């Protein structure tokens, strides 16, 4: 039930970003269709143009289908399907969606990603859910003053796991609240901003993969959330 409640809370944020992406994709598709229509109107041999444009249209359709499937997976409960996937790709997609939703416009985003691809065996939607929550929390923590958010992805020293962290330059979390932030429904945000479910659900997801979600924070310096996933 916690997972379902948080999926619904997160859906609005993701939907804004996905909507932006779908609009961009639709514009690409419209350009290709207009080009084909103009060629047909002019007459002559349009086969070379069709051969050039069709693969692009096919990729656009695949992209639209993938975005729709992600929203459906987030909106409804069901068994998790896991598969190997590059964690860098998940990070890139989440950041693209959040930028599309206007969540990152005030702050400097720094990506510190390992040079080589780092595959993890997970349910993609669940990891997107974790990253959305952590990055949006970082944005909210910093507030209106421009700050920095750093997303890091590196291999674990044991070689069997991948470590991801989201750090912000916000005001930090008081020591007496550090453990409370992982309790369901605990939040320092207004009811309009937070449900108090994001962090406990994120930790629950990570622990289901045999990892953990931990936090370090320093007043006046910022906060870092770190989690690990199986390769």
C-alpha to C-alpha distance for 142 and 168, rounded to whole angstroms:
7
Q: What is the mean pLDDT of residues 14-42?
A: 68
- Where are the chain's structural domains? 2-75, 83-230
Instruction: Give Dmax (Cα) for the chain.
Output: 75
When the pLDDT of each residue in the chain is averaged and rounded to a whole number, the result is: 81
196-213 pLDDT, tens digit each? 677 888 888 899 899 999
Rounded Cα gap, residues 96 and 52, in angstroms: 27
What does pTM read for this prediction? Answer: 0.69
State how far the Cα of 138 lies from the Cα of 187, in Å rounded to an integer.
14
Cα–Cα distance between 97 and 16 in angstroms, integer?
7
CATH architecture for segment(s) 83-230: 2-Layer Sandwich (3.30)
Q: How do residues 108-158 score in pLDDT, each as one tens digit?
A: 999 999 988 899 999 887 898 889 889 988 998 998 889 999 999 999 998
**Could you say which DSSP state residue 157 is in?**
T
Alpha carbons 163 and 157: distance in angstroms, whole number: 9
Pairing of strands 108-113, 148-155: parallel
Q: Which of 130, 131, 127, 128 is nearest to 230 (CA)?
A: 127
pLDDT at 135: 92
């Amino acid at each position: 039930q916690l997972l379902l409640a948080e999926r619904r809370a997160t859906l609005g944020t993701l939907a804004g970003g996905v909507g932006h992406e779908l609009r961009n994709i639709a514009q690409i598709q419209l350009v290709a269709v207009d080009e084909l229509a103009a060629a047909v109107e002019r007459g002559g041999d349009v086969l070379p143009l069709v051969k050039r444009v069709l693969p692009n249209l096919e990729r656009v359709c695949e992209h639209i289908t993938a975005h729709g499937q992600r929203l459906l997976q987030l909106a409804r409960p069901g068994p998790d399907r896991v598969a190997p996937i590059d964690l860098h790709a998940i990070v890139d997609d989440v950041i693209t969606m959040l930028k599309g939703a206007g969540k990152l416009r005030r702050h400097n985003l720094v990506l510190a990603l390992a040079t080589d691809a780092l595959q993890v065996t997970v349910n993609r939607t669940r990891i997107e859910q974790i990253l959305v929550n952590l990055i949006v929390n970082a944005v909210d923590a910093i507030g209106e003053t421009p700050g920095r958010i750093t997303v890091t992805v590196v291999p674990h020293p044991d070689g069997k796991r991948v470590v991801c962290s989201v750090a912000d330059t916000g005001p930090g979390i008081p020591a007496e609240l550090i453990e409370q932030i992982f309790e369901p429904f605990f939040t320092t945000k207004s009811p309009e901003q937070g449900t108090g479910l994001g962090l406990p659900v994120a930790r629950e997801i990570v622990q289901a993969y045999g990892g953990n979600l931990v936090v370090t924070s320093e007043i006046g310096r910022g906060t870092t959330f770190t989690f690990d996933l199986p390769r």
